Structure 1
Amino acid sequence: MTDIRLNAAKVEAEAAGRPSRRPSQFRARERAAWGFLAPALIAIGLFFCIPVAAALLLSLTDFDIYALADLANLRFVGLQNYERLFANPLFWGAMRNTGLFALFGVPLSIAASLLAAVILNDRTVKWRPVWRVIFFAPFVTTLVATAVLWNYLLHTRYGVINWAITSVGLPAVDWLGDPSTSIPAILMFVVWKIFGYNMLIFLAVLQTVPDDLYEAARIDGAGPWSRFRHVTLPAIAPTVLLVSIISVASFFQLFAEPYVMTQGGPAQSTVTVLYFMYEEGFKWWNLGSASAVAFILFLCILAVTLVQLWVAKRVGAYE
């Protein structure tokens, strides 16, 4: 491969009428490039590749609190951790809850962020910088503090949301104490918390769409919806794909929100896969089982991401 690059560079240099560089010069530049990349590659190897490999090996053992005290108690159990997880109804309940969060949360967060970006991209909107700061502020605020605040907002007797509901004659809702409303309540909070970040991404890409396209669409008689469908969406399709992949990974890794707001309740209706992994590893000290949960979660995220890429390629969102 190096010889091919050297020959190509030599031909190009001769065609341009300038002397070609010697092979030693190319090798010196390659060594310099590897020298600049080496610190990052070493950091990735030390803090990512090695821990991931160690966790994979850990998932094949019965590492628990007894092995933590004395490694002589550590045993290799193969795939027994995975078999026990697949036979555990609590694990499948966590998978179901995580799937519901992702199924409804991803489109809601993308729709909210894209709508806000389209509105704030309009130059006729007043106080645009102020609105951008207001919408982005939840993303940079402390998650635990905002989760506690939402607990008060959703309180059955004293919450502002239930006060607004009862003021129009409707009964109060036990948002976090009823299994049928606990997931929607947390979902509202998560979408509110993260949509500002996605909004900035959409806002950045919307500002790269040429105004000439919108002007041509207006001349052809296209309304706002037609311009959005036939001009905006095709132009930002790769960014929509990127945001959807990021959002899927985020919703599959929900932990702090149910941990702070409901502690996995009521009746374990908000236990996510990551919450289940936390309890396996740090409540029951089944670290081998917790590592197995982590790799199952990784495979789920990878599978969904590959499906997203396949669908996007079929519809022409990217090449």
Structure 2
Amino acid sequence: MEAGVPHAGGAVSQSWWSRVWQNHAPGYLFLIPWLVGFLGLTIGPIITSFYLSFTDFDLLTAPEWVGASNYIRMFTADPKFIASMQVTLTFVLFSVPLKLAFALGVALLLNRGMRGLPLYRALFYLPSLLGASVAIAILWRQLFAGDGLVNDFLSVFGIQGPSWISNPRYSLWTLIILSIWQFGSPMIIFLAGLRQIPQDMYEAASLDGASRWRQFWKITLPLLTPVVFFNAIIQTIEAFKSFTPAFIISAGTGNPINSTLFYTLYLYQEAFGFFRMGYASALAWFLLLLVACFTAFSFLTSKYWVHYDD
């Protein structure tokens, strides 16, 4: 082999890399801000929080390694963890199905071709944009207070309503109603899915004498199951992450009697109320694991009820 061949190959390789860099350098340069943010604000904090979940850390002193003590305490010696899980699971189990059912009902009405559809679609989507804001949470607290608008309306019919947000029997349901009110996002997605169903299937079913109710169960719902599946995943994850309404309405305490102590609110209390950052990191990782398990279970069971074109 001639001595100049490797040198030539190296020159070719160097020339190839030079051409690649010249062709793609602008793209890499534009990606640098995103890469810095992704590594510094996403990957870095994720790795750091995983490490801190095995430590005792109060933000003021150096983290002290405690192994799995945070996780052991979580499952064996923390009644507020159990209470927050009960509240959160109750919220998820009721708010998500009711929100999806309400969103689907509104989407079916809008799909009938009424006048001013873009206006109605925008108005119904508006709560999804505003519902998670602090202002709406404050307004909701005023509506369901003892002297709020809801009780003023009930008094017209001679009904004396309780202070909904300070009564542990009803406080969580006020947050569930607020979640259902934010139905705009899944409604838009349902409406897009309804527009994809061929109309000739409904015409054939009508000729066979199928009622609208039977058409819904035999045509609309089966063909809409991929959209239902997508909305269920997204809305469940959002429900697990819900924080602002519970924080504002309960003034950050989760009261009355921990009836609105969402898991995220309890995590916030541990991290920024008691400065137990190590334990809060363990709580955050358990929440991630819980959401991941739910998502994996949903995908595993989807083959039994989600119907695609094939």
TM-score by length of 1: 0.83
Query: Paired residue for 1:65, among 45, 54, 59?
Result: 59
Is the CA contact (8 Å cut-off) linking 2:96 and 2:232 kept in structure 1? yes
- The equivalences for 1:76-225 within 5 A come to 76-86=65-75, 87-123=77-113, 125-141=114-130, 143-157=133-147, 159-192=148-181, 194-225=182-213
Give, in whole Å, the separation in 2 of the partners of 1:220 and 1:45.
Answer: 60
- Judged with a 3 Å threshold, the aligned counterparts in structure 2 of structure 1 residues 43 and 221 are, in CA distance, closer, same or farther, namely farther
Using CA pairs under 8 Å that are at least 6 residues apart, name the structure with larger relative contact order, 1 or 2: 2
Deviation, 1:154, is: 1.1
Is the CA contact (8 Å cut-off) linking 2:165 and 2:174 kept in structure 1? yes
Cα-to-partner distance string for 1:135-186 (whole Å, 9 max, x where unaligned): 11112226111111111211212x2211222222322122101001000011
Quick check: 38-47 or 274-283, which moved more?
Answer: 38-47
- The amino acid of 1:309's aligned partner reads F
Where 1:222 maps in the other structure, the secondary structure is coil
Deviation, 1:235, is: 1.6
Q: Is residue 74 of structure 2 the alignment partner of residue 52 of structure 1?
A: no
Give, in whole Å, the separation in 2 of the partners of 1:272 and 1:137.
Answer: 25
The aligned residue for residue 283 of structure 1 is 273
Give, in whole Å, the separation in 2 of the partners of 1:302 and 1:225.
Answer: 36
The aligned residue for residue 302 of structure 1 is 292
Cα-to-partner distance string for 1:52-87 (whole Å, 9 max, x where unaligned): 1111001111111332xxx3xx21111111112222
Deviation, 1:201, is: 1.0
Deviation, 1:275, is: 0.3
Give, in whole Å, the separation in 1 of the partners of 2:246 and 2:192.
Answer: 32
Give, in whole Å, the separation in 2 of the partners of 1:302 and 1:45.
Answer: 22
Cα-to-partner distance string for 1:203-246 (whole Å, 9 max, x where unaligned): 11211111111211211111111111111112221111111011
Q: Is residue 238 of structure 2 the alignment partner of residue 250 of structure 1?
A: yes
- Judged with a 3 Å threshold, the aligned counterparts in structure 2 of structure 1 residues 46 and 65 are, in CA distance, closer, same or farther, namely closer
Deviation, 1:43, is: 4.8
- The amino acid of 1:163's aligned partner reads D
Point out where structure 2 has 5 or more consecutive residues left out of the alignment.
1-15
Query: Paired residue for 1:273, among 256, 263, 266?
Result: 263
Give, in whole Å, the separation in 2 of the partners of 1:52 and 1:261.
Answer: 30
Q: How many residues align?
A: 286
- The amino acid of 2:229's aligned partner reads L
- The amino acid of 1:200's aligned partner reads I
Where 2:166 maps in the other structure, the secondary structure is coil
Quick check: 282-291 or 162-171, which moved more?
Answer: 162-171
- The amino acid of 1:53's aligned partner reads I
Quick check: 222-231 or 253-262, which moved more?
Answer: 222-231
Give, in whole Å, the separation in 2 of the partners of 1:127 and 1:268.
Answer: 44
Is the CA contact (8 Å cut-off) linking 1:190 and 1:257 kept in structure 2? no
Percent identity over paired residues: 33
Cα-to-partner distance string for 1:7-41 (whole Å, 9 max, x where unaligned): xxxxxxxxxxxxxxxxx9xx97xx96xx6796566
Give, in whole Å, the separation in 1 of the partners of 2:108 and 2:82.
Answer: 39
Where 1:65 maps in the other structure, the secondary structure is coil
Is the CA contact (8 Å cut-off) linking 1:254 and 1:274 kept in structure 2? yes
TM-score by length of 2: 0.85
Point out where structure 1 has 5 or more consecutive residues left out of the alignment.
1-23
- The equivalences for 1:37-48 within 5 A come to 43-48=37-42
